[in-house]
Amino acid sequence: MADDLLSQLKTMTTVVADTGDLDTIRRFSPTDATTNPSLILQAAQHESRRARLAEIARQATDIDDALDAVAVEIGSEVSALIPGYVSTEVSARLSFDTDATLARARSLISRYAQHGVGAERILIKVAATWEGIRAARILEREGIRTNLTLLFSFAQARACADAGVTLVSPFVGRILDWHKAQQPDADFSGDRDPGVQSVKRIYEHLKGHGYSTIVMGASFRNAGEIIALAGCDRLTISPKLLEELAETRGTLERRLMPLDAETRTPEPQDEAEFRWEMNQDAMATEKLAEGIRKFMDDQRKLEALLSELRKS
């Protein structure tokens, strides 16, 4: 009998758990785990965490201090369960402020050190705006690894690779959402999925030109998208889809293959070229802005929860 699809996927792709839930991480044994404000909000709402969250909130100097303390506490717990990276996000509110992103990232790394978690275990997640990419370039040169998220375009991926970021998270499902809204009757199954096509293009460009940046597909709507990207460096997968893959048997074919790198690296983009290419890509521009707003919506809910606990 054929193995389950998740076991086969792990032989060709590093599986990352897209959750802050410790029980899920224990069950599926991913290599890495990634969090964001939405996932931390979910984890923070567990009744078993309320007393500890209240303690953190009351000890914090302000809400930003409390937010980062909660993120690092959950991230530290996750780090004890996995061998690889834990991704922790800088506030989406800072997506257009390079200096503030730098300060917050350095603070997060210091907090992790106080929990006994070294910088080599952490990926600082930053939105792939021009300002975020500039901050990532500086952080990487300081030895702080970065994960550039909310990535919807080839222009963003190129700029991130040029900046030497450790990892990029091109989104799949949200790209599909946009195209479905534009063409509700179109067939976007399998390799026709525009999100899958985007990740393949990014993977082939980065691997074909010798960039060391890790490509991690994210934001999946169905298991078919994951199957179509088997062989990608990393895939970050929700608990629901991890379970579906673990319960499905069959033969999983590798779809993305390592490439021999060309000797010539393309000229890096400048800011004007980056902004022009983003302007020409309506989907990427709209989804990047929407993603930042959604992360902030959940961050505000977490802020409200912590504010309430501070008073308790």
Instruction: Place domain 5-311 in its CATH homologous superfamily.
Output: Aldolase class I (3.20.20.70)
In our burial notation (b when 16+ CB lie closer than 10 A, e otherwise), range 17-33 reads bbbbbbebbeebebebb
Q: What would you measure as the largest C-alpha separation in the chain, in angstroms?
A: 61
Mean pLDDT of 212-234: 96
Mean pLDDT of 79-108: 96
Mean pLDDT of 272-283: 98
User: Token digits for 54?
Assistant: 């209240």
- Asked if pLDDT for residue 90 goes beyond 90, the answer is yes
Cα–Cα distances in angstroms (integers) from residue 12 to residues 87, 138, 180, in the given order: 21, 32, 30
| Catalytic annotation, residues | 125
pLDDT number for residue 261: 66
pLDDT tens digits, 130-161: 999 999 999 999 999 999 999 999 999 999 99
152, 171 in Cβ contact below 8 A? yes
Of 208 and 2, more confident: 208
Alpha carbon of residue 305 to chain centroid: 24
C-alpha 285/C-alpha 306 separation (Å) is 32
Give residue 262's pLDDT band: very low, low, confident or very high (50, 70, 90): low
pLDDT number for residue 131: 98
Q: Mapping DSSP to helix (H, G, I), strand (E, B) and coil, where does residue 168 land? A: strand
Angle between helices 63-79 and 282-311 in degrees, nearest 10 = 100
- Asked if pLDDT for residue 311 goes beyond 90, the answer is no
Helix (H) or strand (E) holding 17: strand 14-17
C-alpha 219/C-alpha 195 separation (Å) is 9
User: Token digits for 43?
Assistant: 């984890």
What is the CB neighbour count within 10 angstroms for residue 140?
Answer: 17
Helix (H) or strand (E) holding 146: strand 146-151
Mean pLDDT of 41-59: 82
Q: Do the bridges between strand 146-151 and strand 122-127 make them parallel or antiparallel, or are there none, so unpaired? A: parallel
How large a percentage of the chain has pLDDT more than 90?
76
User: What is residue 12's DSSP assignment?
Assistant: T
Average pLDDT, the chain: 93
How many alpha carbons lie under 13 Å from residue 7 in its C-beta half-sphere? 9
pTM: 0.93
C-alpha 52/C-alpha 73 separation (Å) is 10
Environment class of 147 (CB within 10 Å of its CB; exposed 0-12, middle 13-18, buried 19+): buried
- Asked if pLDDT for residue 35 goes beyond 90, the answer is no
In order, the DSSP letters of 272-294 are: HHHHHHHHH-HHHHHHHHHHHHH
Q: Is the dihedral of CA 149, 230, 179, 301 positive or negative?
A: negative
Q: Do the bridges between strand 234-237 and strand 122-127 make them parallel or antiparallel, or are there none, so unpaired? A: unpaired
